[in-house]
Every structure is written in structure tokens, then in C-alpha cells.
Chains A and B, each alone.
Chain A
Amino acid sequence: MKTMGLWLIVVCALSLSVSTQEGNEGSAATAIRAREREWVVAQSRNDNHALDLIFDDSLVYVEYGRLVTKGDYLSRIKRAAPQLSQIVMEPMAVRMFGSTAIAVGIYRERTVQEGKVRVRRWRFVDTWVFKKGTWVLVAAGAAPLTE
């Protein structure tokens, strides 16, 4: 769902509309939204321990046409050089299928590279599975929105 790098995050996504939306949903969907936010926060802090708990060991992540495993992802976070970036989550849709959940949404990524600010919006689709009492991410991917 998110690209690599050390991110500074502006958490400004919890608008009233989102809160209302969550209030109307089941607790499982709310839990998925919470996990999505945990992921963003953990990544912003380079918190590999938290990410380790969020990601299933067999996680497959597709970005820019590449396949990234959990090990790849965590090692890249670990050695990521600081860069000024922001991720802002837009409202997402969560569909529940028993112990499986699909989250589809958009996030806005603002990066600063060589003094230039770049803002891109990405559509993501994440698959969560309820395992051993918690929701873990088993698959994820994102594609840049062409606007």
C-alpha cells in the first residue's frame, strides 16, 4: 500500500465523515481500518517490530511491477535513508468475507526529492486474513492514479 522510505506522516485523515462511516460498520471492518492506520504509523517510525506483527510471514506486496516479500520490505525499511514524505489516507472501502477482508482505497503521497515537491495519489488493494486472534496482511499492491 505504501512505498518505501522513511516517512514523516501528517495524520489528518480522520475526518468526521470517516468517523461516521466507521460507526456504521462492523467491528471487523473497523479493526481493518485500524490496522491500515497502524501500518502507516509503524512505517513512519521505521518500526520494524510493529510491521513484523502486521505482516504475515508470506506477505506478497506488488509495487511498480515488482514483487516484494516481507523480508524485502522490512530490510528496506531498516536501511531506508531519511526523506521528507507524507502519506495522507483518503477514505477506504472495506469488504468483509468472513475471516478475510479486502481494503480498497487511495492514499496521497507527498515526497520531496532534490528540493522538488511531488504529490501522487495511489490506489491500493490489501488483503487481510484473521489468524491467531489478529488480522494480518497477506497481500497488498498499489498503482499510481492517472488523473
Chain B
Amino acid sequence: MRTVTLVMLLACTGTPSIYAQELSDIDVTTKIVAMEHMWSQAYVLKDPKALERILDDAFVNVESDGKVITKADVLAEVKASAVLQVLTESMVVHVHGDTAIVTGVVLIKGVERGKAFAQRERFVDTWLYKNGQWVTIAGLVTPIRE
């Protein structure tokens, strides 16, 4: 339930055990943010292998048109990606024990059928600590109308 912004609070509150717990959540946050960036980079590099480990086999994502895609769909999408750049504008992680929720905004730029595009999207992803590692089990992405 804590966010990265709570880091500052650690400096002035809590017992050593609470401090350790907060540090643990910060570690989780750092890991998950790194994996979110890996996810974005997989699209830029057209590298589905990078996502094999990150996406749970039961992963589902709700797209902006309401369609549900699976892990296999994402891997195929990455392989044929038209994305050239993903800029993360914001990202917040909430940790709930073995579950973490990430929300953020990304600006995606690319070229599709010869046309340049830029799309700002808000996402919400659910991560789960499973078999000793964090994997994402669900997500949703919606375009931000300017």
C-alpha cells in the first residue's frame, strides 16, 4: 500500500522493523519499475523473449478498444511492433504483500504504415510474486484524450 513517495517518511518515522518492511517495499517497487521499463523496451527492440519471464502464462490485458489479449498475443504484438520510443511520464507502485499495482502514463512514438504516430496512454498493471519472482498477471491500457 505504500508508494515510492513514502520513502521520505522513512527518514523520520518508525521502529527498525517498520523501517525494514518499508525498505522491502522499496526494493519491490524498484524491481517492478525496472521490469515495467523492460516491458516497454521489448516493444522498441521487438524482443518478445524479454517478456517471456515477465508475463505470467495466465496474463490478460484489456486494450483501449476493450479487447482482451493474452500472453501469446502480446508476444506476437511485440515481434511486429511499430514502436520506436516509449517515454515513461509517471509511474506509481502500490505494494500489497505479494501483489503490486502499477499505474502510470507513457508516451508511445512510432511509425506505422509509413505514418508517424504518438499516443499517450494510461495503464494499470497487476504484478504477483510467484515462484520467487514478480510476474504480471493483468493489465489495462486506455488512451489519454488531450
Residues of A within 8 A of B (CB): 56-58, 60, 62-67, 95, 97-100, 102, 104, 121-125, 127, 129, 131, 138-146
Contacts and interface: CB of A to CB of B under 8 A. Distances in A.
B88 interface: no
B137 A141 contact: no
Q: Which of A64, A100, A104, A146 has the most CB of B within 10 A?
A: A100
A123 B68 contact: yes
A122 B66 CA distance: 7
B113 interface: no
B138 A66 contact: no
Contacts, number: 106
Contacts of A102: 60, 126, 137-138
Interface residues of B, number: 35
Contacts of B126: 100, 102, 127, 139
B122 A66 contact: yes
B68 A65 contact: no
B145 A65 contact: yes
Contacts of B99: 99-100, 127, 129, 138
Nearest to A102: B138
B96 interface: yes
A92 to B, nearest CB: 11
A104 B58 CA distance: 12
A143 B65 contact: yes
6 A-B pairs with least C-beta separation: A145-B66, A141-B140, A65-B144, A123-B66, A146-B65, A139-B101
Nearest to A60: B103
B74 to A, nearest CB: 14
A60 B3 CA distance: 12
B124 A143 contact: no
B67 interface: yes
Given A95-B60, A125-B62, 6 more contacts: A58-B96, A62-B124, A64-B142, A65-B142, A125-B140, A140-B124
Contacts of B3: 58
A131 B96 contact: yes
A104 B144 contact: no
14 contacts: A58-B101, A60-B92, A60-B94, A60-B101, A60-B103, A67-B103, A67-B122, A100-B137, A123-B68, A129-B99, A139-B103, A142-B140, A143-B66, A145-B67
